[in-house]
Structure 1
């Protein structure tokens, strides 16, 4: 197995873990909990999920797959945005499936192809590594909000429960 394959497999595993942990937090919360924000300057879990969806659309679907970019980044952080728990789960499952399918369908040489992000030219691998970091940061926020809402009832998501991507 070459180094590039190890990196790709690691990315697939990382995204699977992020998805799984987001879903495990949502599973513990109510509709009201996922729409709660600690203060007006903070995001709710609903906002963060919609933001990750927007990022997957822009970076993966539009950037890598060449689809039309119709992202409304400002709308992702709308203070009035509300999601039902069921909708949040569907958004996570649908968007991480896009990510998974993209990763699995790229040829190893595709990972080194250039992509234009803002004013920079980067590789598809760079885009995916950045997405992994970005989603991990938002996972941390989601975990923290879940812990704030549930206090001692919170069940850790860092111990895998046997589910994969």
Structure 2
């Protein structure tokens, strides 16, 4: 039997993954790469960062630190014009890595210690950390999508009542 925490966490991650994907689907390639200003991130940059985080944190999670030497975190924030196709390929690769770990965790694994930036975390705490991190960025993705679509934005939840 699978742990209720894992079932609930997976449902939450899937919900936020779908929100981002619904936003992606409403935007052109140009809009996916749009930035409010030079200090801002585009949706493509935010998604690229999330993928880098997923791959780093969840690859070999029990045998290596979650901040991999091969990860170039600063490079995730460099502007790179991505097509929807390339963006979605990266996006799926990150989620696949993460879900592969989640799908294979046992109840006993939840209390195991893993390391992120040399700090010890239980697997439960690391999952909770991601339950805060990923929705934070998905919120940014949705907000930027709403900004670029302006009046053409279609609500992803319950639309406001128009008077």
TM-score by length of 1: 0.86
Give the Cα–Cα distance (whole angstroms) in 1 for the partners of residues 94 and 143 of structure 2: 22
Instruction: List aligned pairs for 1:4-153, cutoff 5 A.
Output: 5-64=3-62, 66=64, 69=68, 70-78=70-78, 80-153=79-152
Residues 65, 114 of structure 2: 8 Å contact kept:
no
How many pairs were matched up?
Answer: 156
Richer in helix (by share): 1
Report the Cα offset of residue 65 of structure 1. Answer: 6.4
Residues 53, 95 of structure 1: 8 Å contact kept:
yes
Residues 19, 92 of structure 1: 8 Å contact kept:
no
Corresponding residue SS for 2:36:
coil
Give the Cα–Cα distance (whole angstroms) in 1 for the partners of residues 16 and 100 of structure 2: 16
Structure 1 spans left out of the alignment, 5+ residues: 160-165
CA offsets, 1:92-131, max 9 Å, x none? 2222122222111111111111012224211111111111
Give the Cα–Cα distance (whole angstroms) in 2 for the partners of residues 127 and 82 of structure 1: 31
Question: Does 1:155 pair with 2:154?
Answer: yes
Aligned CA distance change for structure 1 residues 40 and 62 (closer, same or farther; 3 Å): farther
Residues 64, 124 of structure 1: 8 Å contact kept:
no
- Match of residue 163 from structure 1: none
Give the Cα–Cα distance (whole angstroms) in 2 for the partners of residues 89 and 65 of structure 1: 28
Report the Cα offset of residue 62 of structure 1. Answer: 4.2
TM-score by length of 2: 0.87
Corresponding residue SS for 1:63:
coil
Structure 2 spans left out of the alignment, 5+ residues: 159-163
Aligned alpha-carbon RMSD (Å): 2.0
CA offsets, 1:56-109, max 9 Å, x none? 01111143464993111000001x311101111222222212222211111111
Corresponding residue SS for 2:35:
coil
Give the Cα–Cα distance (whole angstroms) in 1 for the partners of residues 34 and 13 of structure 2: 25
